[in-house]
Structure 1
Amino acid sequence: MSVFKRLKENFSGMFKKLFNKKNARIGIYGPPNAGKTTLANRIVRDWTGDAMGSVSSMAHETRRARRREGVTIRSNSHSISLDIIDTPGLATKIDFHEFMKQGLGEAESKRRAKEATEGVIEAVKWLENLDGVILVMDATEDPFTQVNVTVIGNMEARNLPLLIAANKIDLPEASPTTIRNAFPQHPMVAISALEGKNIDTLYEEIAKRFG
């Protein structure tokens, strides 16, 4: 091999190392109240000491995507730096009457419904700029919802790496096995984002899947 060719290859390798260093952009998706923000807070707090956003039992509390850059996750055998994007809950229909049932006035309910709808559109647009998705499912609910099936189909069409987090296993009615059986083509980790159960296993899988 000539000296010139060797220098060219060495320079090419150095160039790739210098300019391919970027954080993987990972979106946290799922239906309302599946525990997306709870999981985002858990990840960010565990690795930075901060929090991502407020959590509420009211659906569509997160109505705008929130991004936290440079979260480095280290597992036993892998390490990865992430930009975490906590997205609004995906829904096929957002009815302002649902907010009114929570005690909000009509005007406030309509405003929230409008913002939530815009948030869903924003979440879908984010898919163009992601390197992977963590899909949070409520392990106490039927996994065969229109939202879950649509999201998984969308991820598969885009060839985006997908990791399913079967959340809320701290609840007695949780059945993560049902989720695993429903979508066996994708890796799944059963967790409790609230209590931190199996969270280290999730971190290991995140580092392997998106690294």
Structure 2
Amino acid sequence: MGLLTSLKDSITRVTDGLFASEEPKRIGIYGPPNAGKTTLANRIARDWTGDAVGPESHIPHETRRARRKEGVTIERDGKEVTIDIVDTPGVATKVDYEEFLEHDMEKEDAVRRSREATEGVAEAMHWLREDVDGVIYVLDSTDDPFTQVNTMLIGIIESQELPVLILANKIDKEESDIQRIANAFPQHETIPLSALEGQNMDEVYEKIAEYFS
């Protein structure tokens, strides 16, 4: 009887382990170009894994393909969540090659980059509709959030019933206006931060563990 009980307990532990384990949730980092998405993705990845996701740049549309960092485990206040970070290209209604010319690029290179960025936007939209379990939406708190792109993306996120965390980035800048972000999307909580300086990242991690666990 003791042997049967021990065997039964072992099977139960294995079965419980199988059903308890879950695939990491895919969390897409979305927002307009140059909002600081890659800077945030790198900050999160470095803090919890020691590795970066991709190169950062002041040039718009530097991220032209979605980049993924898998198995990032975040722990806060007794909550733990393991996520795959998906750093997506900045979404814009139109990518004009002239934007790149302003950064001293040759026309041929600028045209190539604009084409790649347009393809990246399409890829980001595909990820949003098909392949993410939640969204971190990054906005530059020095810019006007009332844009067609932001309204469209938040609408799609809501229609997909995805959990979304809105971050007002770049609070290290003097012209930052957090309340303007909060007023734009009052149905969602807005968390201020500076991904570049690491300001308020503790609260960001608390909210990530809360929203996506």
Structure 2 length as normaliser, TM-score? 0.91
The one-letter code of the counterpart of 1:178 is R
Report 1:7-156 matches (<5 A).
14=15, 17-18=18-19, 21-127=22-128, 128-156=130-158
| Gap change, CA 1:125 and 1:16, over 3 Å in 2 | farther
Q: SS of 2:23's equivalent?
A: coil
Paired residue total: 202
SS at match of 2:167: strand
Cα distance 1:18–1:145, how it changes in 2: closer, same or farther (>3 A)? same
How far did 1:177 drift? 1.1
2: CA distance, partners of 1:17 / 1:204: 27
Q: For residues 110 and 50 of structure 1, do their structure 2 counterparts lie closer, same or farther at Cα, with a shift above 3 Å needed?
A: same
Task: Note if 1:200 corresponds to 2:202.
Answer: yes
SS at match of 1:110: helix
Aligned to 1:4: none
Paired position in structure 2 for 1:180: 182
Q: Which residue of 2 aligns with 1:161?
A: 163
1:77 CA displacement: 2.8
- In 1, Cα distance between the equivalents of 2:77 and 2:17? 26
Whichever residue aligns with residue 117 of structure 2, its letter is A
Aligned-pair distance for 1:15?
6.0
Matched AA of 2:121: V
Which 4+ residue blocks in structure 1 deviate beyond 2 angstroms? 13-20
User: Separation in 1 of the partners of 2:25 and 2:189?
Assistant: 18
Structure 1 residue 184 displacement after superposition: 1.2
SS at match of 1:137: strand
Gaps of 5+ in 2: 1-7
Secondary structure (helix, strand or coil) at the match of 1:165 reads strand
Q: Matches of 1:63 and 1:19 in 2, distance apart?
A: 36
The one-letter amino acid paired with 2:120 is G
Matched residue of 1:119: which SS?
Answer: helix
- Distance in structure 2 (CA, Å) of the matches to 1:16 and 1:50: 29
**Aligned mates of 1:206, 1:138 — CA distance in 2:** 19
Shift of 1:74: 0.7
CA distance in 2, matches of 1:185, 1:78: 24
Please state whether the residue corresponding to 1:203 is helix, strand or coil: helix
1:3 is aligned to: none
Q: Secondary structure at the match of 1:104?
A: coil
2:187 maps to amino acid: Q
SS in 2 for 1:114: helix
